[in-house]
Amino acid sequence: MNANDGKRMLWVDHMYRIRDDQDQQAFAELFAHFAPRVKGFLINSGADGSLAEECAQEVLATCWHKAHMFDPARASVATWIFTIARNRKIDVLRKQRRPEPEDLGWGPEEDPDQADVMALQQESEQLGRAIAELPANQRELIEKAYFGDLSHSEIAEQTGLPLGTIKSRIRLALERLRHAMK
Amino acid sequence: MMENNIKHHLTDDILIGYAAGTLPEAFNLMVAAHLSLCDTCRAQAESFDAVGGEILDTAPATDVMLEPGSFAATMALIAGGPVDEIRAPRVPDSILPGPLQDYVGGDLADVQWRGIGMGVKQAILPTSRDASARLLFIPAGAAMPDHGHKGTEMTMVLQGAFQDEDDYFARGDVEVADSDMHHTPVADIHEDCICLAVSDAPLEFQGLLPKIVQRFARI
């Protein structure tokens, strides 16, 4: 069992409260969980303590400002925060632009179907459990690929990640988005 | 503009690097351009984002301490309002996917081509110097000079098509080549071919003359 099982829908609810009510209590809980982890991610990527602290604060402030862009039918809250932290890392640590693919419209659909949200969040949970159950050496390599600075040729052997269901779910969400734009 | 017939996709190690944020800028540009055309790889890339999310979520929280007053400082940042992001408008349904338009500073008509011989033209795009990105224009039916590779090179078709000894590549298809590969791609006869090519090492042309061209043309 993963300590975060069942928490994902709670985080989604927190994001709604931040978006709709500017709820500081919900934000404080989100901050307490994610801010130290984002800071750790940045330190592992080569930032010193004070730069990592500054960036972690900026990443969490971005979560507040961009709460309306979060689409729970397409990503877990942890995934969404990870992508914001990753982009900040490229911007500040590597001093590069991050080229982004073409947008699929402006943010999430008006009201994502609750069943789609549940399904995506549950599959994130299954993914988390599957990663936790990987052999220790494989899991370590994956952590290094994301948190260290393993080059792409060094991670060329890292296939076999358990992505099956989550990938189909994301694919479905993309198709819905494209359909909604027509 | 999504393409449904893409047969040659990005490799998982490149997509993991894109998700992790460890690729050179030129490679990120290739991935962003390809994902704009290919939902298969976009879904794969987003599922690698999900792996990153899970690893972030389950990282031990006890390793890192926040500064005292960190939360209050963040609330002060929030009170200061969002940072404006200004992005030049992108042309829809262009030969150039949106992220490439950002680097060209416009659409296909704005590309600053330079001839490199035999009717082949290129335009180097401004990325960090750990890898290079350029647009290539190859006249219909023309061959690219035979070259070997150091490091990793990826070539994606934007217009027309090309074929090498083994395969046929059309819009959205990516050819990934490594140091073992020597090949002679030829542009399809029906249309001039435009490609995005990225490399983390200079190309090595065989023969003396192309070497001189290489020095002046920065490829």
| Rounded average pLDDT over B21-30 | 94
Higher pLDDT, A176 or B108: B108
CA A60/CA A56 separation, integer angstroms: 6
Angle at A63 between CA A166 and CA A43, to 5 degrees: 85
Chains A, B: CB contacts within 8 A come to: 210
Share of chain A above pLDDT 90, in %: 48
Cross-chain Cβ contact A152/B23 below 8 Å = yes
A2 occurs within a structural domain: no
Cross-chain Cβ contact B56/A87 below 8 Å = no
Domains of chain B, start order? 7-219 (2.60.120.10)
Share of chain A above pLDDT 70, in %: 86
Cross-chain Cβ contact A76/B13 below 8 Å = no
CATH number for the domain that contains residue A112: 1.10.1740.10
For A:32-61, CB contacts with B below 8 A are 32-41, 43, 45, 53, 56-58, 60-61
Q: Does B70 touch chain A (CB under 8 A)?
A: yes
pLDDT digits (tens, 9 = 90+) for B134-176: 999 999 999 875 555 678 889 999 999 999 888 999 999 999 8
Cross-chain Cβ contact B35/A101 below 8 Å = yes
pLDDT of residue B178: 75
| Rounded average pLDDT over B2-19 | 89
Q: Which domain holds residue A35?
A: 7-181
The answer to whether the CB of A108 falls within 8 A of the CB of A70 is yes
Number of helical H runs and strand E runs in chain B: 6, 11
B143: DSSP letter: B
pLDDT tier, B207 (very low <50, low <70, confident <90, very high otherwise): very low
Q: Does B78 touch chain A (CB under 8 A)?
A: yes
pLDDT digits (tens, 9 = 90+) for B59-88: 887 778 999 999 999 999 999 988 877 777
A110 occurs within a structural domain: yes
Average pLDDT, chain A: 86
Q: Does B212 touch chain A (CB under 8 A)?
A: no
CA B99/CA B94 separation, integer angstroms: 11
Q: At what angle do helices A24-44 and A49-65 cross, to 10 degrees?
A: 140
A76 occurs within a structural domain: yes
A1 occurs within a structural domain: no
pLDDT tier, B208 (very low <50, low <70, confident <90, very high otherwise): very low
Q: Which of A43, A60, A174 comes nearest B42 by C-beta?
A: A174
Pure H helices in A66-163: 77-92, 114-132, 136-147
Q: Does B27 touch chain A (CB under 8 A)?
A: yes
pLDDT digits (tens, 9 = 90+) for A29-71: 999 999 999 999 999 888 999 999 999 999 999 999 999 999 9
Q: Which of A28, A154, A90 is nearest to B31 (CA)?
A: A90
pLDDT tier, B211 (very low <50, low <70, confident <90, very high otherwise): very low
Q: At what angle do helices A24-44 and B70-79 cross, to 10 degrees?
A: 110
For A:66-85, CB contacts with B below 8 A are 66, 74-76, 78-83, 85
pLDDT of residue B84: 75
CA B212/CA B219 separation, integer angstroms: 11
Map residue A35 onto helix, strand or coil: helix
Give the number of other Cβ atoms within 10 Å of residue B16's Cβ: 26
pLDDT digits (tens, 9 = 90+) for A76-110: 999 999 999 999 999 888 888 889 898 876 566 66
Q: Does A158 touch chain B (CB under 8 A)?
A: yes
pLDDT digits (tens, 9 = 90+) for A101-123: 988 765 666 678 889 899 999 99
The answer to whether the CB of A112 falls within 8 A of the CB of A148 is no
Phi, psi of A37, deg, nearest 5: -70, -40
- The count of domains in chain A is 1
Task: Give the ipTM.
Answer: 0.91
pLDDT of residue A39: 96
Beta bridge partners of B193: B138
The answer to whether the CB of B160 falls within 8 A of the CB of B191 is yes
pLDDT of residue A108: 63
